[in-house]
Amino acid sequence: MAKQKGFSLIELLIVVAIILIIAAIAIPNLLRARIAANESSAAAAVRTIVTAEMSYSYSYQVYAPNITSLGPPSSTGCPSSGPTTSSACILDYQISSTTVSNPKSGYYFAAATPQALQFYIEAHPSTPGVTGVKGFCAAEDNAVRFNNPNAAIASHDACIALLPVIGN
């Protein structure tokens, strides 16, 4: 009787089962790592936006009314006429133009100026639980804060009341 070459059906099923078990273990860890990377990027972007607000304040003696005022008017960069109060060209266009439908690293950002000497920055995951879990905010004291789980940060004072991110 001749010896058959190849694999039996049972051997192939065992290999497929092992691959599926490994995938079931690895995929949730990959998703958690992706969320952690998005959150780290968002916290860094909030710090960058605060620095941009400080630069804007130094240049124009007021805080920017919104985040789009901190960036260029379009993705092509600052106009040849130079920066203005409505497009200061301090931030990258990708950060200054984020919205719920156009996030950066799974987060969108907003800036508000509730009073003349106050501002606060918000960062929220575009898809909570998928792109991120934490929401971030910062105010003129330059401390990046978070709320977990992500919830609306309704005001400057609500931001100030949150715990700062470790390392600030």
Alpha-carbon torsion, ordered 94, 120, 144, 155, to 10 deg: -120
| Segments in the chain below pLDDT 50 | 168
Q: What is the mean pLDDT of the chain?
A: 87
Contact status, residue 128 vs residue 150, Cβ threshold 8 Å = yes
pLDDT of residue 38: 94
Could you tell me the strand order of the sheet in which 144-147 lies? 107-112, 120-125, 135-139, 144-147, 163-164
pLDDT at 167: 54
HSE-CB of 20 using CA atoms within 13 angstroms: 6
Total residue length of the chain: 168
Q: What are phi and psi of 137, to 5 degrees?
A: -150, 165
pLDDT for the residue 168: 45
Residue 26 confidence (pLDDT): 87
Read off φ and ψ for residue 19, nearest 5 degrees: -65, -40
pLDDT tens digit sequence for 14-44: 999 999 999 888 888 889 999 999 999 999 9
Give residue 147's pLDDT: 86
- Whole-model pTM: value is 0.81
Quick one: 144 exposed, middle or buried, by C-beta within 10 A (0-12, 13-18, 19+)?
A: buried
pLDDT at residue number 2 = 65
